Chain A
């Protein structure tokens, strides 16, 4: 099993450009999450999904959109990238929330110039 995979691993964008980050999991998990990690800030939840076709806002959702059209995929979109969105983005999945562990992808390092 591949677990949780993320595409791409690295990306450089210019301010105002758009892009989509793809997360895929092969564990049949209902729950999927997108986090960003900035130096000294830990992980902050951007959006999450509790099942196919559902999405919900996390702690820092502004400037991002998500979609969960298929159970195994969770897409994170930046419509108009800003330098403040320079970060490392992690996707995770879990069977349920709280009392189940989350499985993390390897991360996507995004730089917006």
Chain B
């Protein structure tokens, strides 16, 4: 399994600060996705970045992908208390394979 590993496992910041989470993976990928999970809820898709892309933006989210280092980062700018959640990266390999999820980063944004 080429499960992604998020780092850090937990992160606590003040409202208004930026939050950065990292994901590392082991083998060549086709796409990398980031999901958010609020406590007790299902996962919600945030953003997808393809292996030939280096950066994508969506609102306050910025995702980068470095395939040479087999890593991705998710930046949330100007964080809000509502951003408190767990964040997961998920990767798939070439050849129509299922997504493999990492163990997640638990983000706490303190008002």
Contact = CB atoms under 8 A, between A and B. Distances in A.
Interface of A: 4, 33, 35, 40-45, 48, 58-59, 90, 92, 96-99, 101-107
Interface residues of B, number: 25
Nearest to A50: B96
A101 B92 contact: no
B45 to A, nearest CB: 4
B99 A42 contact: no
Interface centre among A41, A43, A48, A58 (most CB of B within 10 A): A43
Interface of B: 1, 3, 30-31, 33, 35, 40-45, 48, 50, 88, 92, 96-104
B43 to A, nearest CB: 5
A99 B96 CA distance: 9
Contacts of A44: 101
Contact of A59 (B1, B33, B92, B96): B1
A33 B98 contact: yes
Nearest to A4: B42
Given A41-B103, A44-B101, A99-B31, 9 more contacts: A33-B98, A42-B3, A42-B104, A43-B43, A43-B88, A45-B98, A97-B96, A99-B48, A101-B45
